[in-house]
């Protein structure tokens, strides 16, 4: 009789336990790091994530950053919970001890980053970069592109002089001739091609897959897995919309960044948005990034990328 009553009591209390558990998985505030020119900017503008989270009692706080490395510094110190960056910043952050996890990745977009030179430059190929000054954002995805391109051309990172500058400063240095070349990504790439008639000597095609990775602090992802999953679902929805509404997306991103709509139309013509679950193959590609950066002494220590696998993906 006692066992029967205990069983009935468990059935009665189970829904209450489930409701309590669900309530515990909802944070009061989600801090999202974003760049004005990526999928998060579209997500922010459309407001669907804010609306859905508000219904769950969650406030969304959007915090802007100029590039991935700076964003992941924010993740490391706890000022943001979620981020989106290119290939290299996550492994650089791991080397610095940032407790992050990979939630998902975009399709590969190798045409959206390149090494460019002035239109009238004598530099024709990557091999011509030997002894030259190349601007780039240290620890960014183009840092790996530059290393990979040099290796393919039979050169090493020591054969060039890297000039570490944020995109805005690099654009000025490129314009004044203070640097010989610039490794950069869209929309800055599209802008310098359009307005300064910069010439590509290589893009990432065949060298670097160039993903966007959606990342979270390990503590946040493990404590609030449902919220993390909801974010990825929203990114997928916004990506489907953006891929089929490029003109509207270009208008939004033009307002967000201050760059011309024509520049964004050029950018979106060579980029596909999306959010797919991490796989062993993508982690293996990221390990190549980590090993290459370590060999070039960009990373102070070796990194095992798979250590940033989200525990929810292991189940």
Taking residues 248-256, report their average pLDDT. Answer: 94
What is the pLDDT, as a whole number, of residue 125? 98
What is the pLDDT, as a whole number, of residue 311? 85
Could you please state the CATH topology (level 3) that the domain comprising 2-108+211-313 is classified under: D-Maltodextrin-Binding Protein; domain 2 (3.40.190)
Is the predicted pLDDT of residue 13 greater than 80, yes or no?
A: no
Give CA–CA dist 190/271, Å, rounded. Answer: 12
User: Strand pairing of 161-164 and 133-136?
Assistant: parallel
Dihedral angle computed from the Cα positions of residues 133, 137, 141 and 145, in that order, rounded to the nearest 10 degrees: 0
Polymer length of the chain: 315
Is the predicted pLDDT of residue 12 greater than 70, yes or no?
A: no
CATH of the domain spanning 110-203: 3.40.190.10
Is the predicted pLDDT of residue 254 greater than 50, yes or no?
A: yes
Please provide the average confidence, as pLDDT, over all residues in the chain: 90
Residues of each domain in the chain carrying CATH 3.40.190.10:
2-108+211-313, 110-203
What is the pLDDT, as a whole number, of residue 260? 95
Is the predicted pLDDT of residue 290 greater than 70, yes or no?
A: yes
User: In the chain, what percentage of residues exceed pLDDT 90?
Assistant: 82
What is the pLDDT, as a whole number, of residue 315? 60
Give CA–CA dist 23/37, Å, rounded. Answer: 34
Could you give the 3-state DSSP secondary structure of residue 149?
Answer: helix
What is the pLDDT, as a whole number, of residue 313? 75
Taking residues 130-136, report their average pLDDT. Answer: 98
What is the pLDDT, as a whole number, of residue 17? 43
What is the pLDDT, as a whole number, of residue 95? 94
What is the pLDDT, as a whole number, of residue 25? 67
User: Strand pairing of 100-105 and 276-277?
Assistant: antiparallel
Taking residues 235-260, report their average pLDDT. Answer: 95
Which residue's entry shows tokens 């993740």?
Answer: 75
Is the predicted pLDDT of residue 154 greater than 70, yes or no?
A: yes
What is the pLDDT, as a whole number, of residue 18? 45
Taking residues 58-76, report their average pLDDT. Answer: 90
Burial class (CB in 10 A: 0-12, 13-18, 19+), 216: buried
Higher pLDDT, 12 or 56: 56
Is the predicted pLDDT of residue 67 greater than 90, yes or no?
A: no
What is the pLDDT, as a whole number, of residue 206? 94
- Is residue 102 within 8 A of residue 310, CB to CB? The reply is yes
Taking residues 248-257, report their average pLDDT. Answer: 94
Alpha helix stretches (DSSP H) within 177-313: 188-195, 218-223, 225-244, 246-257, 261-268, 280-295
Is the predicted pLDDT of residue 11 greater than 70, yes or no?
A: no
- Is residue 298 within 8 A of residue 138, CB to CB? The reply is yes
Higher pLDDT, 154 or 56: 154
Query: What global pTM score does this model have?
Result: 0.86
Is the predicted pLDDT of residue 207 greater than 70, yes or no?
A: yes
What is the pLDDT, as a whole number, of residue 9? 44
Give CA–CA dist 304/284, Å, rounded. Answer: 10
- Is residue 210 within 8 A of residue 140, CB to CB? The reply is no
What is the pLDDT, as a whole number, of residue 5? 45
Residue 30, H or E segment:
strand 29-34
Both tokens of residue 266? Answer: 């050029």
Is the predicted pLDDT of residue 35 greater than 90, yes or no?
A: no
Dihedral sign for Cα atoms in the order 105, 107, 112, 114: positive
Name the band, by pLDDT with cuts 50, 70 and 90, for residue 169.
very high
Is the predicted pLDDT of residue 262 greater than 60, yes or no?
A: yes
């Amino acid at each position: 009789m006692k066992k029967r009553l205990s069983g009935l009591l468990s059935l009665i209390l189970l829904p209450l336990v489930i409701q309590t558990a669900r309530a515990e998985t909802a944070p009061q505030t989600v801090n999202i790091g974003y760049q004005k020119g990526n999928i998060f900017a579209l997500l922010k503008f459309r407001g669907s994530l804010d609306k859905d989270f508000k219904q769950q009692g969650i406030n969304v706080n959007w915090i802007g950053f100029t590039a991935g490395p700076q964003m992941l510094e924010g993740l490391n110190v706890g000022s943001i919970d979620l981020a989106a960056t290119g290939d290299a910043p996550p492994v650089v952050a791991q080397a610095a001890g940032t407790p992050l996890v990979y939630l998902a990745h975009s399709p590969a977009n190798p045409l959206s980053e390149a090494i460019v030179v002035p239109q009238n430059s004598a530099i024709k190929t990557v091999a011509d970069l030997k002894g030259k000054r190349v601007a780039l954002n240290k620890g960014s995805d183009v840092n790996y592109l530059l290393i990979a391109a040099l290796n393919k051309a039979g050169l090493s990172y020591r054969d060039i002089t890297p000039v570490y500058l944020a995109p805005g400063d690099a654009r000025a240095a490129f314009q004044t001739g203070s640097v010989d070349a610039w490794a950069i990504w869209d929309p800055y790439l599209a802008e310098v091609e359009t307005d300064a008639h910069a010439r590509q000597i290589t893009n990432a095609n065949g060298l670097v897959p160039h993903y966007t990775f959606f990342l979270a602090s390990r503590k946040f992802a493990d404590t609030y897995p449902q919220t993390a999953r909801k974010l990825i679902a929203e990114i997928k929805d916004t990506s489907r919309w953006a891929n089929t509404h490029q003109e509207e997306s270009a208008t939004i991103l033009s307002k967000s960044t201050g760059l011309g709509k024509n520049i964004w139309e050029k950018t979106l013509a060579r980029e596909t948005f999306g959010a797919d679950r991490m796989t062993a193959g993508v982690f293996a590609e990221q390990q190549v990034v980590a090993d290459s950066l370590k060999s070039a002494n960009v990373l102070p220590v070796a990194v095992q990328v798979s250590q940033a696998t989200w525990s929810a993906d292991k189940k």
